[in-house]
Structure 1
Amino acid sequence: PRAYPYAALFRPPLLRRTLFLSLAWFALNAGYYGAFIWLPSLLVAQGYTLVRSLEYVLLITLAQVPGYLAAAFLVERLGRRPVLVAFLAFSALAACLLSRASSPGEVLLFGSLLSFFNLGAWGAIYAYTPELFPTALRGSGAGLVAAVGRV
């Protein structure tokens, strides 16, 4: 493969990819950790007991496994970008519905949908990211944008 210096990630044509993927990874991390770290506290603030809120979060997070598997299946059939965009859009919709949930059933349903689609987006972005960088910078590019997401 053609050699590229690390600095090529910050110059055209890779700059746009680096910036886009950095933003995508940052948003995905913020959405995931923001939702699942704060969800027990938000449920307690809505009047659920701490034990009940932790039970709900446990049940909700179980939906992550099928979401991840569904994305892994779909990325090969529909493509990485369409699956990533769809799972992110459905994550946003589920988050909006969860914020308006007024009953335990709605909390579990919309929380599980958020969990399913959010982890599916993780599966899609893990598959999509390396493809956007040339072979010589694939590990560096993917590592950089994932690190930006952790910020």
Structure 2
Amino acid sequence: GLGGGPAKAPSQALVRAWEGAFAGPLPEPKAAEVPRPLPYGALFRPPYGRRTLFIALAWLTLNAGYYGAFIWLPSLLVAQGYTLVRSLEYVLLITLAQLPGYLLAAFLVERVGRRPVLVGFLGLSALFAYLLGQAGSPGEILLFGSLLSFFNLGAWGAIYAYTPELFPTALRGSGAGLAAALGRV
């Protein structure tokens, strides 16, 4: 305490008061059921095969879209005649839209659901990636690039929340790991 004395543990009276708040004896704790291990191959058989395929494709497209856009965009802008400094400025401004996209997805996954947010954000990412590819002016590049950035990182927020829910505990790490690994291909 402040007086320099030892800190006191909860008193026995307090513990008895808590215990007395319950009618009768407390039930004995039950051991949690240990999940039965499943073989890795279960990821490719019903009912998990379709889930594994869907989420692996989602990770693959999300990674390809993100890294394709943000690694190659400065070079593509230079190839269109922008200076390297200007193209890096554009990419910096575009990537600033990622944080609000991630935050919006984090908000929506609890209210709308993980799958609808993931599908919606992936679809909008694809739309704005296409429009960015068609952009002809600096304003269009910044607008469509920012919207791509916003929805793409929002999709990341949704996919991280959604992926583990597709698999039972015994396959959760393997399923999520496989999907993320295939995304890195």
What TM-score results when the alignment is normalised by the length of structure 1?
Answer: 0.96
Match among 112, 120, 123 for residue 146 of structure 2: 112
Q: Which has the higher helix share?
A: 1
Partner of 2:163: 129
Match among 30, 49, 56 for residue 90 of structure 2: 56
* Residue type of the alignment partner of 1:33: Y
Question: Percent sequence identity over matched residues?
Answer: 85
Q: Which has the higher contact order (CA 8 A, sep 6+)?
A: 1
Partner of 1:16: 50
Detail structure 1 runs of 4+ shifted over 4 Å in the superposition: none
Kindly indicate whether residue 180 of structure 2 is the aligned counterpart of residue 146 of structure 1: yes
Partner of 2:69: 35
String of CA shifts for 1:64-83, please: whole Å, max 9, x gaps: 11111110000000001110
1:14, distance to aligned residue in structure 2 (A): 1.1
Larger Rg: 2
1:2, distance to aligned residue in structure 2 (A): 3.2
String of CA shifts for 1:98-147, please: whole Å, max 9, x gaps: 11211111111110000000000111111111000001111111011100
Runs of at least 5 residues in structure 2 that lack an aligned partner in the other structure:
1-34
1:45, distance to aligned residue in structure 2 (A): 1.1
Partner of 1:69: 103
| Distance in 1 between residues matched to 2:143 and 2:83, nearest whole Å | 19
Partner of 1:7: 41
String of CA shifts for 1:5-34, please: whole Å, max 9, x gaps: 222112221111111111111111111111
The two structures, once aligned, show a CA RMSD in angstroms of: 0.9
| Distance in 1 between residues matched to 2:139 and 2:112, nearest whole Å | 32
| Distance in 2 between residues matched to 1:145 and 1:100, nearest whole Å | 31
What TM-score results when the alignment is normalised by the length of structure 2?
Answer: 0.79
1:3, distance to aligned residue in structure 2 (A): 2.5
